[in-house]
Structure 1
Amino acid sequence: MDLFGVLQHTITTILLGVASVIWGIAAIPSVFLLIWSYESLINAELIIRVIGISLSLGLAYILWGISTVLIIGIIGLIISPRKGEKRVPLRSLTTIRWGLIAALTRFSHSWIELISPSWITNMHYKMMGCKIGKNVQINTANLNDAFMVEIRDGAVVGGGASINAHLVEKGQLVLAPVIIGKKSVIGAHSLITPGCEIGDGAIVAAKAVLPKWTKIPSNEIWGGIPAKFIKKIE
């Protein structure tokens, strides 16, 4: 195994420790809540204690998830790479930095699925570098490479849709911005790949796969695998 391979596996192992620290810090408010609830109810009747602590457990679980999402967003705000299309060797520091962001995204993935769509989801992606307009609905945890994505006013990203601004080809990591236009719709479980631009008012049908660097004009419907023009929206 060469030096880069050793470094890659070492960082992956370290990330397990990082994850435990992030989840541990995120749990602090929840632990405070549980201890406070226990001490407040210690002299109450058994049924009151059971109900009170049970409700506290549910709230603590949600609080832990929200704290995790926000902490990861803050870290992403600090270490996200700069925007702009780029090609770099797969074995490079940029790739390692991108990999760290990807790992952080996975740490919060299950929570984003649980709370989407919501203002918390939008705020998380903004902190991770995504440019999000007004009245945007994001109903997916698969907005990858958020720092390379722009979602304009009134756009809707359907449940389970995947937006990827990266690919690996010819020994290179390729990062290319993805732009989703105003009032456009990305259908459920569709796949948007690097360099794609969705025009204002356009619709990408459910489960469609949009090939890399595809440009969809405004007010058009595209669908299929690979996605192709279906009709113009009148």
Structure 2
Amino acid sequence: MKTSPLDYVLSTIAITLILLLAVAGVWALRPLTTAALADYHVVADFLLLLLFYGLLSAVAVRVLLRVQPIAPGEYDGDSPVFTFWKLITIVYRLGQGALLPFTTVFTRPVVEALYGARVGADVAIGGTIDDPYQVEIGPRAVIGHNALVSGNVLYGGKLTCGKVIIGAGATIGVNSVVLPGSEIGENAVLMGGSYLMPGTKVPAGETWRGNPARKWM
């Protein structure tokens, strides 16, 4: 993936602004943490810094996408959309990294929702969601360990973006890959290790497997 000086400039500006706001939040609360924890306030300050950075990065991603949404489509390496996508990706990945100490199996859906994913009730996420703002997950869906649900794919120097819709009660098996433009119907199952190609639609209730994934039963 080609990286330009503009990518570094935009990323540095965004990260610096978010970090400064996070530090300001910690500094404002420092009298409280010092009074409550004395010499141990440093630990609380560090955790608050991570929390504020993660939350502020989520706000930044939501605001940037509200101003300039990333529409589904294919974009060349020198496209302004590609540059914007790289900026959004850096911001949300660093932000989610900062939230790792607060991310458990129970809070993972909340973290993904902070960055734009539409997540229903009682969803279990054991894998990775790439470009969460492109992903919709219905109630009671399960994403298995090490599975990847991605709203983007990079190939031949081009970026392809697209929505991913996972229906209610659907199951994505361990180590599976779901690529942009895919739709998985309600109560459908993608078996472990399967590879769902871009734009594939899995009807409700069906079981698919393989690379590329095909209907099994």
**1:209 equivalent in structure 2:** 195
Q: Give the Å deviation of 1:220.
A: 2.2
TM-score (norm 1): 0.74
User: Which string of whole-angstrom CA distances, capped at 9 and with x for unpartnered residues, describes residues 53-77 of structure 1?
Assistant: 3xx6666555444333322211111
Q: Give the aligned length.
A: 213
* CA distance in 2 between partners of 1:177 and 1:57 (Å): 42
TM-score (norm 2): 0.79
Higher radius of gyration, 1 or 2: 1
* CA distance in 2 between partners of 1:31 and 1:7 (Å): 36
SS in 2 for 1:125: helix
* CA distance in 2 between partners of 1:29 and 1:184 (Å): 45
- Does residue 159 (structure 1) correspond to residue 158 (structure 2)? The answer is no
* 2:182 maps to which of 196, 199, 212: 196
Q: Residue 141 of structure 2 contacts residue 168 of structure 2 at CA under 8 Å; is this kept in 1? A: yes
* CA distance in 1 between partners of 2:59 and 2:149 (Å): 21
Deviating more after overlay: 195-204 vs 110-119: 110-119
Q: Residue 85 of structure 1 contacts residue 174 of structure 1 at CA under 8 Å; is this kept in 2? A: yes
SS in 2 for 1:150: strand
Letter in 1 for 2:160: V
**1:24 equivalent in structure 2:** 23
SS in 1 for 2:121: coil
* CA distance in 1 between partners of 2:48 and 2:153 (Å): 35
CA RMSD of aligned residues (A): 3.1
Letter in 1 for 2:56: I
Q: Give the Å deviation of 1:178.
A: 0.6
* 2:106 maps to which of 105, 111, 118: 118
Q: Residue 184 of structure 1 contacts residue 201 of structure 1 at CA under 8 Å; is this kept in 2? A: yes
Using the aligned pairs only, state the percent identity.
Answer: 22
Listed as ranges, the gaps of 5+ residues in structure 1 are 40-48
Q: Residue 138 of structure 1 contacts residue 156 of structure 1 at CA under 8 Å; is this kept in 2? A: yes
Q: Residue 26 of structure 1 contacts residue 68 of structure 1 at CA under 8 Å; is this kept in 2? A: no
Deviating more after overlay: 10-19 vs 90-99: 10-19
* CA distance in 2 between partners of 1:27 and 1:206 (Å): 43
Q: Residue 221 of structure 1 contacts residue 229 of structure 1 at CA under 8 Å; is this kept in 2? A: yes
